[in-house]
Amino acid sequence: MDSSKQTKEGNLELPKWFNILPNSDQKADQLSIYKKITLSLSKALEETSLLLVINNKGHILFVSTAFCELLQYREEDLIGADYFLLQHRSFRTESKGDFKNALTRNSTITLEMIPKRKNGNPVILQTTMMPLIEGKGDLFLLVHQDVTRLKQAEKVIKELVAVDTLTGLPNRDKFERDISFLIEKGRDGNGSSFAILFIDLDRFKFYNDTLGHFTGDKLIQVIAQTLLSLDCKGLQVYRYGGDEFSLLLQFPESEQEIQTIAEELLQRFQSPFHVKGKELYITASIGISVYPELGTNYDELVHQAEMAMQYAKERGKDDFQWYHPSIRTEHDEKLFMEKRLRLATEKKRFTLVYQPQINLRTKKVVGVEALIRWNDNELGPIAPSVFIALAEETGLVIPIGDWVLEEACKQAKAWCNEGDALRMGINISPLQFQRPDFVSKVKHILRKTQLDPTLLDLEITENDLLYSRKESFKTLERLKELGITISIDDFGTGYSSLSYLRKFPIDTLKIDQSFIQELVENSNDQAIVTSIIQLAHNMNLKVIAEGVETKDMVDFLNERQCDEMQGFLYSKPLPGNEVTMFINQVNPEDALE
């Protein structure tokens, strides 16, 4: 007998599990058993599963017992009711739209529904809706799974994760969610303005590095409590990360209120913070952005506040700054310059010029100072003070400094080969000098260029020596062992300490040009320059005056027995191929007389 024919009655195709029923030759007995099993399964589903049948208008035609019990309704209360009217107010409008589109298109969809119980409390259901009869779009089966407890657990976990463990403040993730929620309310027409105050601690790294991370953590905790003590309605404090905090001020009455909070914040940082028996002084830089006047999404608002904070920091720190579009322009220009500077560093698109240095006793050119220049194809000529500061900030000063050192040594060696043994002065950045491989790099370049080390004069600032005195002393001693001359550049402008002049192996002091510019008219500058020359000579050090531009300046320096000078009076900085020709043609004695 054909089994497929035995499993059909009219147009009803029996399910696969029908084959497991006891063998029977009586079709009626088989169908009777099938109906009983089907009835039992249907009853089990109705009592345990959250089932609904709705029509294409969303009206309930069938509801399971389990669904009625979950929502605490009687069956007769739900039959004929509009399924969407059961939904809690937190049910998202866009989800309702997706659901109705599926009804229209006769398609299957899974989404989160939030019906409310008879007492009004919401229930979160993972819901799958599908056509009840394939090909007919008038009836739909809804199968629900109660995920309320799961969602509640997720919410608790999310709240725990949203707390900064060090300070107990809401963290960056919570800050983003709170801002995004307020912006979403604004899109729905229920929002209001708010302000973001982005705070970065000035000099925190100094305390963290010198006193240890434990003290740094305690300082962060004390500052967090100080921020929490601000008495302002609608103000929430967050730990954004590291040494950064963010404040959210809702419903500010005016810009003046926001500014008052910023000023009070800065005032709190004027008093020392007490940590482990120490009084620690630290300031803050604050950036402010406002919704919706300045930005309408999270990323934009936070980026604006960060840029404003950075602007306040660059202007001297311990201040607040409102975001305005011109800051973005300056920021974008800086980013573009950094991009061009990186390209110039990679392609070595710099040039060196050299300013002659003259011995005031012999009236002879004895050396030069190498000065870097950058003329970009798109930006044009950039002042050294601008791009060198950017190079220091970005770390590009290391490869740039290495290039300068090698190129200047090559040029000095080329002059030697031509018969002009000129001392080569090269400015060394603090980052270069503090690197542990600095001395080995200098050795390598001297070997590579074959330059006599006694013709190399490395110029460093006094602040470099004071940063890490022990390591600085070792570095200088190793350089002196090679025969290299050491000069202190811009002497008198940094944190001067006479002890390092006594202890460190230094050869020359270079008087900063800021003391030379008004030397003839300013008695204070005269006293300073005179004192520096006398101090240097008493310690057997040589003195070079920078920025000499007039004969009167030379007369003053000669009277005080200054050793050398450089400046426009004799020559501006010159390209390498013009230096020897110039000094052979122009007698320094004629220029200085």
CA angle (455, 460, 465) in 5-degree steps: 130
Q: Are residues 488 and 379 in the same domain?
A: yes
Q: Are residues 219 and 191 in the same domain?
A: yes
Residue ending a domain, among 323, 356, 381, is 323
- The total domain count for the chain is 3
* 531 lies in some domain: yes
- The whole-number average pLDDT for the span 337-352 is 96
**pLDDT on residue 299:** 92
- Selection from 26-35, 155-164, 282-291 with the highest mean pLDDT: 282-291
CATH number at residue 209: 3.30.70.270
Is residue 16's pLDDT more than 80? no
Residue ending a domain, among 116, 149, 182, is 149
Q: Are residues 143 and 167 in the same domain?
A: no
- The whole-number average pLDDT for the span 230-255 is 91
* 214 lies in some domain: yes
Element (H, E) at 522: none
- Selection from 62-66, 232-236, 402-406, 486-490 with the highest mean pLDDT: 402-406
**pLDDT on residue 322:** 94
Burial group, residue 475, by CB count within 10 angstroms (0-12, 13-18, 19+): buried
DSSP character string of 71-120: HT--HHHHTT-BGGGGB-TTS-HHHHHHHHHHHHHT--EEEEE-BB-TTS
Residue ending a domain, among 122, 149, 176, is 149
**pLDDT on residue 497:** 56
**pLDDT on residue 338:** 94
Tell me if the pTM is above 0.85: no
* 288 lies in some domain: yes
Q: Quote the CA–CA distance of 540 and 427 in Å, as a whole number.
A: 22
Q: Which of 155-169, 250-264, 435-449, 572-586 has the lowest mean pLDDT?
A: 155-169
- Under the banding of pLDDT at 50, 70 and 90, the label for residue 10 is very low
Tokens of 421: 């043994």
Q: Are residues 207 and 292 in the same domain?
A: yes
- Under the banding of pLDDT at 50, 70 and 90, the label for residue 98 is confident
For residues 491 and 367, the model is more confident at: 367
- Selection from 30-44, 290-304, 327-341, 361-375 with the highest mean pLDDT: 361-375
Percentage of the chain with pLDDT > 90? 49
- The whole-number average pLDDT for the span 120-129 is 88
For residue 222, what are the domain limits? 162-323
Is residue 106's pLDDT more than 50? yes
Q: How many helices, marked H, and strands, marked E, lie in the chain?
A: 24, 24
Q: Are residues 142 and 199 in the same domain?
A: no
What is the average pLDDT score of the chain? 86
CA angle (339, 343, 349) in 5-degree steps: 130
**pLDDT on residue 4:** 41
Q: Are residues 395 and 530 in the same domain?
A: yes
Q: Are residues 178 and 291 in the same domain?
A: yes
**pLDDT on residue 160:** 60
Is residue 89's pLDDT more than 70? yes
Q: Are residues 357 and 303 in the same domain?
A: no
Is residue 134's pLDDT more than 80? no
Is residue 231's pLDDT more than 60? yes
Tokens of 229: 């003590």
**pLDDT on residue 412:** 97
**pLDDT on residue 43:** 60
* 43 lies in some domain: no
* 22 lies in some domain: no
* 382 lies in some domain: yes
Burial group, residue 234, by CB count within 10 angstroms (0-12, 13-18, 19+): middle
Adjacent-strand bridge partners of 488: 460, 509
* 31 lies in some domain: no
Q: Are residues 134 and 182 in the same domain?
A: no
* 532 lies in some domain: yes
- Selection from 330-339, 360-369, 485-494 with the highest mean pLDDT: 360-369
Is residue 498's pLDDT more than 80? no
**pLDDT on residue 357:** 96
CATH number at residue 79: 3.30.450.20
Is residue 15's pLDDT more than 60? no
- Under the banding of pLDDT at 50, 70 and 90, the label for residue 1 is very low
Peptide bond into 292 cis (omega under 30): yes
Q: Are residues 142 and 280 in the same domain?
A: no
Q: Are residues 520 and 580 in the same domain?
A: yes
pLDDT tens by residue, 396-450: 999 999 999 999 999 999 999 999 999 999 999 988 998 899 999 999 999 999 9
Q: Are residues 377 and 456 in the same domain?
A: yes
CATH number at residue 412: 3.20.20.450
